[in-house]
Structure 1
Amino acid sequence: MAARSRRQALKWIAGASAIMLAPQAMQFASAAEDFFKGPPVKDIPAKQISKHVWLIYSPDGFPTPENRGMMANVTFVVTSKGVVILDTGASLQIGEMAIRMIKKVTDKPVIAIFNSHYHGDHFLGNQAFIETYSKVMPIYAHPYSIKQIKGIEGNAWRNLMERWTNQATAGTKVIPPTHDANHGDVFHFGDVRIKVHHHGTAHTPGDICMQVIEDKVTYVGDIAMGNRIANIDDGSYVGTFKAYKNLQATEGDQLWVPGHGEPSKQLLNEYGEFLAGIYDTCVKAVKDGQDLSVAKSLVLKDPRVSKRAKTMQGFDGNIGKYTSLAYLEAEKEAF
């Protein structure tokens, strides 16, 4: 009886193996994996923007099922000690794509990560680097951002990204930053020093900018953007202008690298001009006793704003909201 049971078990194993080797079974297994873990993100080759700094550029500013959440740049610095990541993207899959691209540039391991703030498109890729390189790799962020990611923001952003991409980012886990990075901190990575800048609330209360001192390159995260209207729900127009002024006064000529958009030496001036077109107009409207609807019409007519209206990603869907926020901040500043 025992021998017959063994023979039956062997037959079952042989049959199961044959099934698993069939093309249909392989396709099923792949589909099942994609169900629990979203599909890979297509490769975007890294481009070198300075001696040590490379950029994996995202042409899209917002997450969709089609781009699978690839909506923010992933910037990395190749040092004599290893690779340092400045924001890891919006998902495990984006982080894995970034790793594939980094390996085409260098065989050095990733040794540290910086997260510029607590919005998910900048930290949800942490998982890929931790799982590939080291579970004790330091991840640096401002203390406020660390608190937010460990709290409600971490899982909230993970869930939002899955919804916005129709589950393409499934399988992503929240890996919070582990080490504080405060204003003025300088981190040494062999031949490269990275200096942290925090000038109060700008895009969020916890924004940090990372300056690659040797290259005169500063990654500014989302305090300035190339051709995308910024989310300023958690931020401040006045605080953003203050951050721009301080960065330019203390660091001078830099190549400014945004989380969304192309690097530019004029980035802060150009995006600052756009934001000023919104905020200054609202300040005047409040001073003149005009209501929000009038302020919005005046904002849309301001040449600093109108010249960007047709080309800026997310303009139509967000200009009303961010005019409202500017108006509220102007009222607060006035009183």
Structure 2
Amino acid sequence: MKRRQLLWASAAIGGAALWPEARLLAQQAQDFIEGPAVADIPAQQLSPHVWMIYSPDGFPTPENRGMMANVIFVVTSAGVVVIDSGASLQIGQMAIRMIRKVTDQPVVAVFNSHYHGDHWLGNHAFAKTYGNKLPIYALHSTIEKLKGAEGNLWRSLMERWTNQSTLGTQVVLPNTPVQHGQVLQIGDVTFRMHHYGTAHTPSDLCVEVVQDKVTAVGDIAMTNRIANMDDGSYPGTFKYYKALQTATGDQLWVPGHGQARPDLLKTYGEFLAGIWEPCLKAVEDNQSEAEAKAAVLKDPRVAARAKTMQGFGGNIGKYVSLAYLEAEKVAF
């Protein structure tokens, strides 16, 4: 249904707009609208089995139509496995087009790394194309979080941030829980699940592609974007990194935002430490949050990123505040 048809439907209910039935009709009419297609982004091959559809942008805008997170896929002998499906129906559809340029095999499984909408709202496209029985894996805590208001909240937020470019996207939840240490064999590729507590969120699933020594890390680390830490933990992130590296050894780390790097946990960990350590010291020295922020901005690990990191200027104050609050809990 196009926008003109929606306007017609709205006019048809006219003075009855306050009726429950009219409101339901309007909502159903909107659900049939689909925003514009997302431009193709050819996939990059990272290893023998792993490919990535790279997003150059770190935040959703009307211009990028919500394309703000990488979509990763793994080509196995039994079919294609997707790790994070994107932020909308349209992004998922674009990802399917790009997968079909690489292989004619169907998608046989999807993983969602956590509950932030840019990593799972594309589930709709894969379920629509490959059927509602398509396994969509996530941690149990992610599934439970999205069963509540969180799922529809993310759909609404993405529509607002993109000037409704993502219209038509429906909430399709992960349907199959996985847990830490679980191993799934799909064709000739082994997938190992990792979860070591709260990092970016309490529900961060990292998926290791064992044969390729490649691990998709979701948003626990980012190449050149300041991460959302509202639900996260600074010391929890450092603990997660240490446990993950101990369990896997050297890997190519593939983030949800930014290019894959073998030194990603090291470089992003240094940046986060440049925020955390001055805040912890400020609390221990009975200094104010303002003094902590000044120390963070002078820290060379942070200052080196200030001019180039996506979202730095608009978010560094908030994430210093979060670090300071967490440091108060740790110190006392």
**TM-score after normalising by structure 1:** 0.90
Partner of 1:295: 292
Partner of 2:61: 64
Alignment RMSD (CA, Å): 1.8
CA distance in structure 1 between the partners assigned to 2:35 and 2:166 by the alignment: 5
**Shift in Å, 1:136:** 0.2
Q: Answer yes or no: is 1:38 the counterpart of 2:39.
A: no
Q: Per-residue displacement from partner, 1:141-174 (whole Å, max 9, x unpaired)?
A: 0111101111111000000000000000000001
Candidates 300, 314, 318, aligned match of 1:317: 314
Q: Tell which structure's C-alpha radius of gyration is larger.
A: 1
Q: Answer yes or no: is 1:169 the counterpart of 2:175.
A: no
Partner of 1:53: 50
Partner of 1:186: 183
Q: Per-residue displacement from partner, 1:183-203 (whole Å, max 9, x unpaired)?
A: 000011010000000000110
Matches within 5 A, 1:202-221: 202-221=199-218
User: Share of identical aligned residues, percent?
Assistant: 67
**Conservation of the 8 A alpha-carbon contact between 2:223 and 2:264:** yes
Candidates 79, 83, 91, aligned match of 1:82: 79
Aligned length: 310
Paired amino acid for 1:136:
K
Q: Can you give the 5+ residue segments of structure 1 that lack an aligned partner in the other structure?
A: 1-25
Partner of 1:334: 331
Residues 281 and 27 of structure 1: is their aligned pair in 2 closer, same or farther, counting only changes over 3 Å? Answer: closer
Q: Answer yes or no: is 1:254 the counterpart of 2:255.
A: no
**TM-score after normalising by structure 2:** 0.91
Q: Per-residue displacement from partner, 1:125-151 (whole Å, max 9, x unpaired)?
A: 000000101210111101111011111
**Shift in Å, 1:28:** 6.9
Candidates 127, 136, 140, aligned match of 1:130: 127
CA distance in structure 1 between the partners assigned to 2:192 and 2:138 by the alignment: 12
Paired amino acid for 2:251:
Q
**Shift in Å, 1:27:** 11
Q: Answer yes or no: is 1:269 the counterpart of 2:269.
A: no
SS in 2 for 1:113: strand
SS in 2 for 1:274: helix
Q: Per-residue displacement from partner, 1:70-102 (whole Å, max 9, x unpaired)?
A: 000000000000000000000000000000000
**Conservation of the 8 A alpha-carbon contact between 2:143 and 2:175:** yes
